[in-house]
A and B are shown apart, each in its own frame.
Chain A
Amino acid sequence: MAYGGLTVPFIVMSVFWGMVGGVLPWLVPKGPNRGVINTMLVTCAVCCYLFWLIAILAQLNPLFGPQLSNETIWYLKYDWP
């Protein structure tokens, strides 16, 4: 997968959690538990999206790189693209 920076993952995740938090609550059948299920969906979407966002933003512009042992470098030079 060619690295497109931030845009592709950002769009995919925003759409996914946006659907979970914004669209699914409308589709929950009417019943006594509707309020709780909606609360659960929105809270879950916000929490998980925020957590993913923090993880990806922290790696967006790294200030330093990983320090590897020579054996690891030797192996990864040929194994990883």
Chain B
Amino acid sequence: MGSLFRSEEVCLAQLFLQSASAYSCVSELGERGLLEFRDLNPKVSAFQRRFVGEVRRCEEMEKTFTFLQQELREAGRVLAPCPDNPRAPLAREALRVQEQSEQLAQELREVSRNRASLRGRLRDLRQYLHVLRESRRFTSLPAPLGSPPRSRALSEREPLLDPSLHQHLDRKINFVAGVIHPWRVSAFERLLWRACRGYLVASFVEMPEPMEDPTTGESITWVIFVISYWGEQIGQKIRKISDCFHCHVYPYPESEATREDTLSGLHSQIQDLSVVLEETEQYLAQVLDKVVLALPTWRVQVQKMKAIYLILNQCSFDVTEKCLIAEVWCPVKDLTQVQDALRQGSYKSGSSVECFVQRIPTSESPPTLIRTNKFTAGFQSIVDAYGVASYQEVNPAPYAIITFPFIFAIMFGDVGHGLLMFLFALWMVLYEDRPSLRQASNEIWLMFFEGRYLILLMGAFSIYTGFIYNECFSRATAIFPSAWSVAAMANHSSWSSAYLATHPVLTLDPNVTGVFRGPYPFGIDPIWSLAINHLNFLNSFKMKMSVVLGIVHMAFGVILGIFNHVHFRQWHRLVLEFLPEMIFLLALFGYLVFLIFFKWIKFSAANSLVAPSILIHFIDMFLFTSNADNLPLYEGQVPVQTVLVVLALASVPVLLLGTPLYLWCQQRSLRTSQPTLVASREQEPLLEGQEAGNSVNATKEDVESGGHSPDAKHLDLAELFMHQAIHTIEYCLGCVSNTASYLRLWALSLAHAQLSEVLWSMVMRSGFVGLRYVGGVVLVPVFAAFAVLTVAILLVMEGLSAFLHALRLHWVEFQNKFYVGSGYKLCPFTFTPDHWE
């Protein structure tokens, strides 16, 4: 993986593919996923391309597959993903797939249609059955005499008398029986009453079991109605009204006997129909089984075939040599593999002539290829999110593997929180092969999962910085005994209990012997977490730390630029850009780092009252003034600072004008050598006489082109000056503002520390109030609240915030010093499952 430091060498190549073996060659190349094909027919529309017929055929097959998949989904079957990796099919295989799939689709359509019609018939029969059964109630014999009398209110709903008893009446009772949608019942009743008042009796009863509505498919409890009426006209009216309301009307036999016959006939019909329907369903299941078996493989095959034809459409056809020419971007290391793939493809298609690959020179910038593994992919992706590296420029990713989690950890430093984050990431890493983790549908989870190694390192570094900040869930630990001795101070200043009672706050003085015994060996002393003025100390420490680390990070960025200058053989940039940049940075901000370290080492509590302020010295350095109250840090400070400022200011014009002037001199020296060539060419035709018009024209053109180049270079120089001016201003102003920008390391670590302190003292501490058993019970919900708030606020919110700021520091402050990031990625043509849904 040496290619992680800069992108691999990628060349432009031409593939000569024989027409017969073009398909299998591209199939082989797709299986290996090495090359990116370029479109050689950009102006041709999709319909005019060479292989448009084949593409259309693939799309038709895909339509059939979609239909089959829909049918499967409606039947509740699940389509399994394709188990093996089938290769793209050859022409006759593809034909077979097309025929089989269409045949299956046809069968499926027919069977579904049959089933639907059978079901409809069955439903009708069952409705009729229910109508007959329920309406028996209304037309049965009257109740025996012993039954309780019915109230008048139910008189309209009373079961009618058997019409056979009314045979002697001159009016004959007729019946209309049917089924109506339950929502329409009241409107139906009202309309019947208004239209045929008094000449009919309508009875409604609900069906005992719900049935499917043919139009909407939902199951509804239909309402059966039986209307008995007198007179022919009323009958017609009733039938028209029931038509309007979309009721299913069934013929209602008059006599009891015919009704019984019809009932038994219906029963047998329903039975027969159910048997036929069952067999149809079985056949349908068989067809669906066949589809489930074959469909996954077909889909993958046809997708591959379509992809290959789309690629072949991008090639240009050479009529004279009867072959397709493809232009590809190919990594130089893989050229032998490409040749091997072409050989295999030619062999598989049975052609005798081999296809071959040929490298061609190009002036275009090739795409960037950086090979990563599962560990480095996460870090490379956060670098690529800002901009893909230009071709063969230095890649910041291998350094970001460590600096990004480190800078995150500075803002997040806490042992407890770091440990939780580390364990979470460890769980994801150890179980990364489980499909339930890998193929979840939640996008946010997938983002966390893909960054599992990043989170692992972030957690590990947070544990380290947590130990240095001496914070574990905001509590300090005294792994080593504290360096500050309260007893010594108390003995020296005779702090008796009475004295302590009257003075609520007292300060330890490091000047007193025995009070301060030396620096705490690892991290921040635990006494500071008990001190009231702990922020005074911590702020000073964290601000200086942020500035020091920021300047080191930026200097590292400038140094990485050396690799770029050396690789692209721009030696002048080493002297004219890198050197002034480094001098500017180190003379001003490197000196600031020196001042910080110097003051830490040289000044102590003995002269703390007169300790100079670094900030005032730094400001005075720029303004060339001095402040009488601010003592110098060392002898000869003023002349040293003057020299450094002059050096830094002197490097600015070098940075501004160095490279453009150098390039201009280069152009001039080239131009002074060119006129001699032009002059010699001008003399020749005068000597030969104007024999061939071509040579004269050619000479004239040469002169003209020779005249054009200085003009063109002039324009380039103006651009170059402008570009360099912008770069200089950006760099110099950026040095100042970026150094200040690194103070966000201090700000966020302060915020994190304060938040976790608040959470502890206001949430968890209140659970320690009661020291009896009751206190133990109270502690459980208090701890639950503490845990939830810790995870939600401190881990998730603060974690995302620190991640974002670390990312910004890398993208802007670090990468501005050397990274251009204007490349594009190599997207090889490949059949990997990432491309499938």
Contacts and interface: CB of A to CB of B under 8 A. Distances in A.
B340 interface: no
Interface in B475-492: 480-487, 490
Contacts of B545: 51, 54-55, 58
Given A54-B544, A61-B601, A73-B495, A66 B522 contact: no
A27 interface: no
B402 A47 contact: yes
A63 to B, nearest CB: 4
Interface string A22-64: 0000000000110110011001100110111011111111111
Contact of A74 (B500, B523, B532): B500
B403 A43 contact: yes
A64 B536 contact: yes
B507 to A, nearest CB: 5
Given A36-B376, A43-B403, A60-B519, A70 B600 contact: no
B531 A68 contact: yes
Interface residues of B, number: 73
A62 B512 CA distance: 12
A72 to B, nearest CB: 5
Contacts of B406: 44, 47-48, 51
B742 interface: no
Interface residues of A, number: 46
B770 interface: no
Nearest to B401: A40
A51 B550 CA distance: 12
A65 B600 contact: no
Interface string B605-621: 10010010000000000
Nearest to B533: A67
Interface string B533-552: 11011001100110011001
Contact of B1 (A35, A51, A55): A35
A55 B517 CA distance: 16
B248 to A, nearest CB: 76
A39 B1 CA distance: 12
B520 interface: yes
Contacts of B533: 64, 66-67
Contacts of A43: 399, 401-403
B506 interface: yes
B833 interface: no
B233 interface: no
B27 interface: no
A35 B5 contact: yes
Contact of A66 (B480, B481, B519, B531): B531
A50 to B, nearest CB: 7
B481 A80 contact: yes
Contacts, number: 185
B519 A51 contact: no
B486 A76 contact: yes
A60 B531 CA distance: 18
Contact of B517 (A3, A32, A57, A66): A3
A69 B373 CA distance: 55
Nearest to A48: B464
Contacts of B549: 50-51, 54
A73 B490 contact: yes
B548 A69 contact: no
B318 interface: no
Contact of B522 (A40, A52, A64): A52
A74 B490 CA distance: 9
Contacts of B480: 1
B347 interface: no
B505 A70 contact: yes
B212 interface: no
B595 interface: no
B518 interface: yes
Contacts of B536: 64
B530 A44 contact: no
A68 B600 contact: no
Contacts of B481: 1, 80-81
A51 B749 CA distance: 14
Q: Which 7 A-B pairs have the closest CB atoms?
A: A61-B604, A66-B531, A65-B508, A3-B518, A9-B521, A63-B608, A43-B402
Interface of B: 1-2, 4-5, 373, 376, 398-399, 401-403, 406, 410, 464-465, 468, 480-487, 490, 495, 497, 500-501, 503-510, 515-525, 527-528, 530-534, 536-537, 540-541, 544-545, 548-549, 552, 597, 600-605, 608, 611
